[in-house]
Structure 1
Amino acid sequence: MVDSFLQYIQYEKRCSPHTLTSYQTDLLQFTQFLDTVYECKTPEAAIFPMIRSWIVSLVEEKRTPTSVNRKIATLRTFFKFLLRRNIISHDPMLKVKALKVNKALPQFVDEQSLNQLLDTFEFTDDFAGTRDKLVMELLYGSGMRLAEMISLQESDVSTYEQTIKVTGKRNKQRIIPISKRLIDLINTYIQSKKNTFFNNHSSFLIVTDQGETIYPMMVYRIVRKYLDLATTVEKRSPHVLRHTFATHLLNKGADLNAIKDLLGHSSLAATQVYTHNSLEKLKTIFEQAHPKA
């Protein structure tokens, strides 16, 4: 039934390849545990004590609460699928509770440091330099996710309307307005790409030095390379630029609901985490400015 479940979340739920891989990995680990400890060959035959035992083993392996909770979420989805298909008559996950997680505030780059990097750093004027600058400007200028940027097509950019059409989680599409400066950079980059790969002009917007669709690890390397020059924040990843986009907008007075729509969040709860960073800034301003602080 695992194969049927994976097909269900791929074709009916339209989960991303990354999510599909996570589900597949979690269920494989769960199946191996059942077979090794309980000689249970099929995960659909698992009962609550078996599931609880697996969760305890994950904790004992020093897995983070976030990692364990993701695996719990996988099992919840899997057993709900079995219940709907009448494969099982009782959901063994009903008694399972998620682990408590200490929520860390999203890390972000301060506005002055990032603007100084993007405005004054001299990227090389060849294709690679133009591409690297576009990667940095796109992630910070739109707040899109890594996977969303990788899947961008040239046709998703509207020069006239100054927007980008982004396909997010579960194939939900949203339109993000971008600056005239970013539009100009995209046009410069596309022309450079045509000149560099005139015999193999990919429809994907961001490509490697060989003209192939860019891959996650390369984007990580690009972002880390340039953020190393601008910040000392612990995490220097593409997602940090997404956090930075949201935090800077909120600090400038943008409406939280508008930021939610720009980020493609399904609920406001996911966006509200950025208010904590703004509150910290307000506290600092208060302590510096108020005579009774």
Structure 2
Amino acid sequence: MTGGTRATRATHEALPPAMREAVDDFADHLARVRNRSAHTVRAYAADVVSLLDHAVRMGCSAPAELDLTVLRSWLARQRTVGAARTSLARRAAAARTFSAWAHRAGVLPADVAAPLSSPRAHRDLPTVLRADQAAALVEAPDRRPPATRPAEATGHKVTDPAGPDADGRRDDSPPGASRQDGPAGPARPEEEPVRLRDRVLLELLYGTGVRVSEACGLDVADVDHGRRVIRVLGKGGRERSVPYGVPAQRAIDDWLRSGRPALAVPGSGEALLLGARGGRLNPTTARRIVAGYAESLGLPRVSPHGLRHSAATHLLEGGADLRAVQELLGHSSLGSTQIYTHVSVERLRAAYRQAHPRA
């Protein structure tokens, strides 16, 4: 088992050999056959390690001894120690996926988790920016510095406290190089490429609604300037084309003309967005960039996913078809997109309460 926390790796190593092998084969199946992201593989593998560790404590010595009683006991234990409903739902899904795979692979005599139920995950309505707030955030690199200057912009050597991003990648900068990632201002001439990069990042996140990992995974060749679309590789390896507008086109042109060449190094490859030391921009840094500019404007705390929520909500409020928004966002299920209709209804209700004399 690769990745995961130190505690999870230690628990994995303490499992009986047959169980360790089952976890490793399951993780390999998710990555190679199901084409799941590294983040999903790590999360599901960690859940299965926790399940099998609980099974061992209940007297099981091999995966074939799993049954519905063990699974339910494991979920009950998770609830007892305070796991949230969303965590319980995900762990139950991991158990069902593992059980179905293990049965097909001959590891389990039956798909014991098929009847396993899980609590319905509570879905909070996502926080979204108003259209004017989103516009101000996207244009922030051109107009003002953030509230604080992060260490990356001071010229001091720093390390990424968050480590590798969700896909296990890092900015492939040479060791010991100083970093200038993140918004800082007023921009000195040497910081201009970073400002141009930040503007492209923000334009793409809000202007297309792509996930932060999808934006950071873009290559130069994924941009179709003639049709103004980007080719995005989403969850499960699903590819889709997403349109972008004239402001994003201008930002991309400026970046490719004056920003990217200044940051590119021999190891940059074809990555569209680069870190300050020339490696592919990673999602951890992108999140810091978005948060820094939002703070500088006094906006509600927002993440790249918040910009995705905002884009979807504004599309629906502007009259876009729900299925068109589903395609743009890359949702496999329409149910994932319908949450944004709830956001719009809430805004409509708030406006009604404020303005209608009979409210």
TM > 0.5: yes
TM-score (norm 2): 0.76
Q: 1:1-150 to 2 correspondence within 5 Å?
A: 1-35=22-56, 37-119=57-139, 121-122=143-144, 124=187, 126-150=192-216
- Equivalent residue letter for 1:208: G
Asked whether the 8 Å contact 2:193–2:262 carries over to 1, the reply is no
Aligned partner letter, 1:223: V
Where in structure 1 are there 5+ consecutive unaligned residues?
Answer: none
Larger deviation, residues 170-179 vs 189-198: 189-198
**Distance across 2 between alignment mates of 1:160 and 1:216:** 27
* Cα offsets for 1:119-164 (capped at 9, x unmatched): 3634636111111222111110110112211211110001111110
Report what 1:204 is aligned to: 271
Runs of 4+ in 1 over 6 A off after TM superposition: none
Q: State which drifts further: 261-270 or 198-207.
A: 198-207
> What letter matches 2:67 in structure 1?
I
What whole-Å deviation, never above 9, does each CA across 1:24-60 have from its counterpart, x for those lacking one?
211122222222x224233342111211111111111
**Is the Cα contact below 8 Å between 1:44 and 1:79 reproduced in 2?**
no
Question: Structure 1 counterpart of 2:103, which letter?
Answer: L
* 2:328 matches 1:265: no
Please give the root-mean-square deviation of Cα atoms over the aligned residues, in Å.
1.9
Shift of 1:289: 4.2
Q: Say yes or no: does 1:159 pair with 2:180.
A: no
| Kept after mapping to 1: 8 A contact 2:223/2:230 | yes
The count of residues paired between Structure 1 and Structure 2 equals 291
Match of 2:11 in 1: none
Question: Is the CA contact (8 Å cut-off) linking 2:64 and 2:109 kept in structure 1?
Answer: no
1:238 deviation in Å?
1.2
**8 A Cα contact 1:163 1:175, kept in partner:** yes
- The residue identity in structure 2 corresponding to 1:197 is A
Cα deviation for residue 198 of structure 1 reads 5.3
Structure 2 distance, partners of 1:187, 1:44, is 58
Number of the residue aligned with 2:343: 277
Q: Share of identical aligned residues, percent?
A: 30
Deviations, residues 267-288 of structure 1 (Å, cap 9, x unaligned): 2111111011111222233334
Letter of the 1:176 counterpart:
V
Structure 1 letter corresponding to 2:231: K
- Please tell me the residue identity of whatever aligns with 1:30: L
Asked if structure 2 preserves the Cα contact closer than 8 Å seen for 1:150 and 1:215, the reply is: yes
Distance 1:12 1:267 in 2: 21
Superposition pairs for residues 180-219 of structure 1, below 5 Å? 180-191=246-257, 192-197=259-264, 199-219=266-286
Aligned residues of 1:194 and 1:201 also touching (Cα < 8 A):
no
Which residue identity is paired with 1:77?
T
The DSSP-based 3-state class of the residue aligned with 1:161 is coil
Change (3 A) 1:145 1:117: closer
> What is the deviation of 1:262?
0.3
Q: In the alignment, residue 32 of structure 1 is paired with which amino acid?
A: D
Q: Which amino acid aligns with 1:219?
A: A
3-state SS, counterpart of residue 164 of structure 1:
strand
Residues 135, 41 of structure 1: CA spacing in aligned structure 2 closer, same or farther, 3 A cutoff?
farther
Name the SS for the 1:272 alignment partner: helix
- Cα deviations by residue, 1:97-119 (Å, 9 ceiling, x for unpaired): 11133221011111112212333
In the TM superposition, residue 244 of structure 1 has moved relative to its aligned partner by 0.5
Query: Displacement of 1:245 after TM fit?
Result: 0.5
**Greater Cα shift, 245-254 or 78-87:** 78-87
Which stretch has the larger CA shift, 236-245 or 87-96? Answer: 87-96
Aligned mates of 1:30, 1:201 — CA distance in 2: 41
Consecutive unaligned residues in structure 2, runs of 5 or more: 1-21, 146-186
Give the structure-1-normalised TM-score.
0.92
CA contact (8 A) 1:202 1:211 kept: no
